[in-house]
């Protein structure tokens, strides 16, 4: 576990730095992520700015419309007779209980 110094500096553990390619002099980003802070290495692509509410609602509406079209194009047909009923299954398994 890393500690924060009196100058608010944090040392990245070597294993983490090696895994994510963090080298001395690299600039890392700290991003808010709800109740936690995300540390983003320099090799990670920049996250786009969140869209405004109107854009997000338009994207949601478009996705909802696509889903409605998919559901309308898909038809589900009941399978024909299986040759057995649910009760048959219980009757067949009855000898195992004895």
CB within 8 A of 77, min separation 6: which ones?
A: none
Q: What pLDDT is attached to residue 44?
A: 81
Residue 80 pLDDT more than 60?
Answer: yes
Q: Flag whether 23 is in a domain.
A: no
Q: Write the DSSP symbol of residue 4.
A: B
In a domain, residue 37? The reply is no
Closest CA relative to residue 19, chosen from 44, 36, 37: 44
Beta strands in 1-98 (DSSP E): 29-33, 36-40
Does pLDDT of 98 surpass 60?
A: no
Q: In total, how many domains does the chain have?
A: 1
Residue 64 maps to a domain: yes
Does some domain include residue 60?
yes
Helix (H) / strand (E) containing 67: helix 53-73
**24 within a domain of the structure (yes/no):** no
Note whether residue 40 is domain-resident: no
User: Residues 2, 10: contact at Cβ < 8 Å?
Assistant: yes
**Residues 21, 43 contacting (CB under 8 angstroms):** yes
List pLDDT tens digits, range 35-73: 999 988 888 877 777 788 999 899 999 999 999 999 888
Q: Which DSSP symbol is given to 25?
A: T
Q: Would you place residue 76 in the very low, low, confident or very high pLDDT band (cuts 50, 70, 90)? A: confident
Residue 5 maps to a domain: no
pLDDT at 97: 53
Q: Quick check: is 27 in a domain?
A: no
The residue range of the domain holding 64 is: 53-93
| pLDDT band at residue 77 under the 50/70/90 scheme | confident
Question: Residue 96: what pLDDT?
Answer: 56
């Amino acid at each position: 576990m890393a500690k924060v110094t009196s100058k608010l500096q944090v040392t990245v553990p070597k294993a983490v730095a090696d895994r994510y390619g963090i080298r001395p002099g690299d600039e890392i980003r700290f991003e808010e992520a709800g109740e936690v802070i995300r540390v983003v290495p320099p090799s990670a692509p920049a996250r786009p700015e969140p869209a405004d509410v109107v854009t997000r609602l338009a994207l949601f509406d478009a996705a909802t419309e696509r889903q409605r079209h998919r559901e309308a194009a898909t038809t589900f047909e009941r399978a024909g007779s299986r040759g057995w009923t649910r009760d048959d299954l219980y009757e067949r398994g009855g000898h195992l209980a004895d």
